[in-house]
Amino acid sequence: MPIKVIDQLPAVEALSVENVFVMTESRAASQDIRPLKIAILNLMPNKVATEIQLLRLLANSPLQVDIELIRLDNHVSKHTPESHLNCFYRYFSDVQQHKYDGLIITGAPLGLVDYEDVSYWPQLSEILAWADNNVTSTLFLCWAAHAALYYYYGLQREIRGEKLSGVYWQQVVQPLCPLVRGFDDEFLVPHSRYAQVPKQKYQSHPDLHVLAEADQTGAYLLQNSKGSRVFVTGHPEYDLTTLNDEYQRDVAAGLNPKVPENYFRQNDPQQAPLKLWQSHAFLLFSNWLNYYVYQATPFDLQQIGQAQ
């Protein structure tokens, strides 16, 4: 949350140079407060587990957040009971006339499938176009980040020689950006994917800004100039056991996977994993909610998109 001070306090100007948000009394007096409306398009197979992961992170904020869970039309989920979806989710076609302060689109296990071959690509493309005029800021996770980069900027991913699986150090490269405010210079994040977009492709688009990256993982955190699109190529939302669950699933399927890197104690899958990314995950979601949603969205939701 912003700190509120007297307009003329000298610290206001000094902190502004550092990109620290300070709310003056005059602005605070004119503010109206209402709950934020956040939609989640959950594309993960185990939707219940993903709901818990995301809601845990979104709840770590003093802001009041109203959540709406969205599902694709005409897409059958094989791993989540239909009764759960019918009770807690709404079809996109039922909410597309609405506007939201924020939208989160999750990853999906489609790392080796061409985007155009994904059965629900036409509706996902429709949702991405809709978000630009009906959502203040959209946060894309893992597969959704690469899919959105392809849709908006034509950036085609490359398939790695082997799956990237483990917990990897990332370096902050834009420390004054509000999205990484409070981050350490280096921090850990889980990754679980086959795809990667080469750095030179990002650099060809002036509207794209890489905020954190690593040689081994490529760009991890990106945003567009307005902050209305935030791309996260890893899985900060993962629980302690998620990478292990994926590893054991691949072992059972006879895929002979590599042991997830920097995850198990002493890199031994017989030992318990360590959760070393939780503080970063909470801070990332808190910064996104505060600086890119709460501070950017209009009080009247119907004004979203009018100035874009």
Q: Which of 11-25, 94-108, 143-157, 198-212 has the lowest mean pLDDT?
A: 11-25
Tens of pLDDT along 235-286?
Answer: 999 999 999 999 999 999 998 999 999 999 999 999 999 999 999 999 999 9
d(Cα 151, Cα 169) in Å, to the nearest integer? 28
The mean predicted confidence, pLDDT, of the chain is 90
267 domain-assigned = no
Residue 120 lies in a domain: yes
Determine contact, residues 288/139, Cβ cutoff 8 Å. Answer: yes
> Was 249 annotated as part of a binding site?
yes
* Annotation says 237 is catalytic: yes
Active-site choice (146, 191, 213, 237): 237
Q: Which of 142, 191, 213, 246 is catalytic?
A: 142
- pLDDT score recorded for residue 29: 63
Residue 8: pLDDT band (50, 70, 90) is low
192 is in an annotated binding site: yes
Note whether 181 and 291 are within 8 A (CB). Answer: yes
Q: Which residue has the higher pLDDT, 79 or 139?
A: 139
Number of domains into which the chain is organized: 1
Is residue 17 a part of any domain in this protein? no
pLDDT at 24: 62
For residue 26, give every residue at least 6 positions away whose Cβ sits within 8 Å of its Cβ, in sequence order, or none.
7
pLDDT at 23: 59
Q: Among this protein's residues, is 235 annotated catalytic?
A: yes
Range of the domain at 288: 32-159+195-237+278-303
Looking at residue 298, which CATH number applies to its domain? 3.40.50.880
Classify residue 10: in a domain, yes or no.
no
Was 165 annotated as part of a binding site? no
Q: What is the mean pLDDT of residues 148-173?
A: 95
Query: Which residue among 146, 191, 209, 235 is the active-site one?
Result: 235
Task: Assess if residue 15 is contained within a domain.
Answer: no
Evaluate if residue 5 carries a pLDDT over 60: no
292 pLDDT more than 70: yes
Higher pLDDT, 292 or 48: 292
pLDDT recorded at residue 63: 84
Question: Is 273 among the domain residues?
Answer: no
Q: Is 25 a catalytic residue?
A: no
Q: In the structure encoding, which two tokens stand for residue 80, read together?
A: 């989540």
pLDDT tens for each residue of 11-48: 567 667 767 665 566 666 666 677 889 999 999 988 88
pLDDT at 9 over 60: no
164 domain residue, yes or no: no
Other beta carbons less than 10 A from residue 166's beta carbon: 22
DSSP strand pairing (22-24 vs 3-5): parallel
Residue 138 lies in a domain: yes
pLDDT of 307 strictly over 70: no
pLDDT at 60: 83
Helix 278-287 and helix 47-58, axial crossing angle in degrees, nearest 10: 70
Residue bearing the bigger pLDDT, 49 or 234 = 234
More confident residue, 135 or 75: 135
pLDDT in tens, 60-76: 888 888 899 999 998 87
pLDDT digits over 76-125, tens only? 787 788 888 888 899 999 999 999 999 999 999 888 899 999 999 999 99
